[in-house]
């Protein structure tokens, strides 16, 4: 990496938690300089404006989430049903860390950018589409090897998983009670075992 690239990455990493906790629209240039110890000139020497910093930080935060999720269900020889259950386990075990760093970056950014930050909104939309595709691809693979029922719609179940996860995170973070997320995760596990798998228990 060049010196400029290292500085840019430094800014992104130093402000990643800040943007996700304070907000992608609420974090100011002064907040960024305070978090990094750099001058405004240094920030603008690497990014066009504050909005570009916010978008790049969002991409970083989602990339970290994606990497952690991929690690959770991409083990060698793991079956599609084990991958889906690993997805559930990931959220059941990692929620304290997720909440401590402000919650789900996709949900946070989606709420903030809906009407005020179209460039960020388009990034969030892409993130949800990619996440839904990753889950639906796992389900489709399970159908191809006859592990999952042929009549189910992979996209519908992937979308349902996302709704349950994001809703559970929102309620648990708002109330400070993990039971809402655990209820959502219990429901997803039930769907996998009773509705998706070819031979439900």
**Phi, psi angle pair for 30, to nearest 5°:** -65, -40
Q: What share of the chain is helix, strand, coil (3-state, %, to 5)?
A: 75, 0, 20
Q: How many structural domains does the chain have?
A: 1
Distance, first Cα to last Cα, the chain: 52
- Residue 51 CB burial class (10 angstroms; 0-12, 13-18, ≥19): middle
- Is the predicted pLDDT of residue 82 greater than 80, yes or no? yes
Predicted confidence at residue 3, as pLDDT, reads 86
Q: Is the residue at 76 inside a domain?
A: yes
Write out pLDDT tens, residues 26-56.
899 999 999 999 999 999 999 999 999 999 9
Q: Is the residue at 47 inside a domain?
A: no
Q: Is the residue at 144 inside a domain?
A: yes
Q: How many CB atoms lie within 10 A of CB 125?
A: 13
Predicted confidence at residue 174, as pLDDT, reads 87
CA 153 centroid distance within chain: 23
6 token code pair:
């290292």
Residue 91 sits in which domain range? Answer: 54-196
> Which residues touch 187 (CB under 8 Å, ≥6 apart)?
164
Q: Is the residue at 82 inside a domain?
A: yes
Q: What's 110's domain CATH number?
A: 1.10.357.10
Write out pLDDT tens, residues 90-144.
889 887 777 777 788 898 888 888 778 999 999 999 999 999 999 999 999 999 9
Q: Is the residue at 187 inside a domain?
A: yes
Predicted confidence at residue 75, as pLDDT, reads 64
The model carries a pTM of 0.88
Gap between the Cα atoms of 108 and 48, Å rounded: 23
Q: Is the residue at 188 inside a domain?
A: yes
Q: How many CB atoms lie within 10 A of CB 28?
A: 11
Q: Is the residue at 6 inside a domain?
A: no
- Helix, strand or coil, per DSSP, at residue 93: helix
Q: Is the residue at 38 inside a domain?
A: no
């Amino acid at each position: 990496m060049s010196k400029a690239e290292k500085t840019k990455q430094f800014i992104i990493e130093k402000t990643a938690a800040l943007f996700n906790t304070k907000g992608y629209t609420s974090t100011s240039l002064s907040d960024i300089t305070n978090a990094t110890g750099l001058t405004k000139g240094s920030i603008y020497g690497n990014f066009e404006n504050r909005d570009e910093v916010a978008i790049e930080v969002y991409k970083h935060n989602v990339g970290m989430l994606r990497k952690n999720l991929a690690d959770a269900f991409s083990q060698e020889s793991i079956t599609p049903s084990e991958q889906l259950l690993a997805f559930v386990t990931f959220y059941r075990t990692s929620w304290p860390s997720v909440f401590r760093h402000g919650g789900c970056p996709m949900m946070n950014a989606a709420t903030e950018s809906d009407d005020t930050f179209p460039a960020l909104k388009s990034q969030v939309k892409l993130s949800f589409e990619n996440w839904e595709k990753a889950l639906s691809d796992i389900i489709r693979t399970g159908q191809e090897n006859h592990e999952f029922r042929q009549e189910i719609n992979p996209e519908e179940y992937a979308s349902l998983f996302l709704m349950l996860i994001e809703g559970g995170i929102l309620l648990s973070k708002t109330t400070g009670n993990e039971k809402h997320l655990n209820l959502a995760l219990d429901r997803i596990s039930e769907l996998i075992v009773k509705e998706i798998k070819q031979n439900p228990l």
